[in-house]
Amino acid sequence: MADIRISAASLARIKMEDKFLLVLNRNRFQKGHRVYTPFGGAIEFTYHARPYLGDLGVRFEDSSALRFALPEKKLAAFESWFYLRQERETSPFRELREELVQEEGILPELLPNQVTSKLLWAVKPPVGPTDRVGQAGVLTQRYLEIFEVTFVPGVHDQLRKALSAPQTKLRAVTLQEIMAGHTSDDATPIGSICRYLLSAAA
């Protein structure tokens, strides 16, 4: 039986009043494409999980992310482990700090006590090709965890201010724009993955 590629990620649903905060996808932006996607990214596992994952026969793409090739016959075993939510990340905090502070420089810092995240739902989208660099076109089974993310008032105000900054990569979009797949004023694409911010049945 063939291998299947696995990619597990957490996504942050950040509300700005009645809109959803998105950011230009960094990977696609570096390739010259403007696409708005949610904050979040690959879920990382702890070193305690490595022996178990190794026994499943995974071929890792990097050291600690749940992105790898897996014998398809082991998919059920992986899913059982994944949904236990043990020996892996169970919040989007690390990714939020990387994106907001280290990558985009939107915030000077982000501390754990400045963020609250609540798991809304887990999603298993249909198998489809990935556009990830180095794996483009490979059929991938994705697993997504969607979190409602809120910030303390000071951080929320900084994000609101960053929305109107020159050359900002942030955008607050409506539900209707997400469903349409693009912004209403300049038709900038909005990734279809954003629909999972609205419902588990996107």
User: pLDDT value at position 7?
Assistant: 95
User: pLDDT value at position 32?
Assistant: 82
The string of DSSP codes covering 89-125 is --SSHHHHHIIIIIIS--SS---GGGEEEEEEEEE-P
Q: Is residue 74 part of a domain?
A: no
User: pLDDT value at position 26?
Assistant: 85
Q: Is residue 156 part of a domain?
A: yes
- Minimal CA–CA distance to 35: which of 178, 150, 153? 178
Q: Is residue 113 part of a domain?
A: yes
Q: Is residue 149 part of a domain?
A: yes
User: pLDDT value at position 99?
Assistant: 95
Structural domain tally of the chain? 1
Q: What is the pLDDT along the chain (202 residues), one digit of tens a residue?
A: 589 999 999 999 999 999 999 999 988 877 788 999 999 999 999 999 999 999 999 999 877 999 999 999 999 999 999 999 999 999 999 999 999 999 999 999 999 999 999 999 999 999 988 776 667 677 899 999 999 999 999 999 999 999 999 999 999 999 999 999 999 999 999 999 999 999 987 6
Helix (H, G, I), strand (E, B) or coil at 71: strand
Find the CATH number of the domain harbouring 18. Answer: 3.90.79
User: pLDDT value at position 129?
Assistant: 80
Domain that holds residue 183: 3-40+91-197
Q: Is residue 68 part of a domain?
A: no
Where do the DSSP E strands lie in the chain?
Answer: 3-16, 19-24, 36-37, 39-42, 59-60, 67-71, 115-123, 128-129, 139-151, 170-173
* pTM metric for this prediction: 0.93
Q: Is residue 54 part of a domain?
A: no
User: pLDDT value at position 133?
Assistant: 63
Q: Is residue 86 part of a domain?
A: no
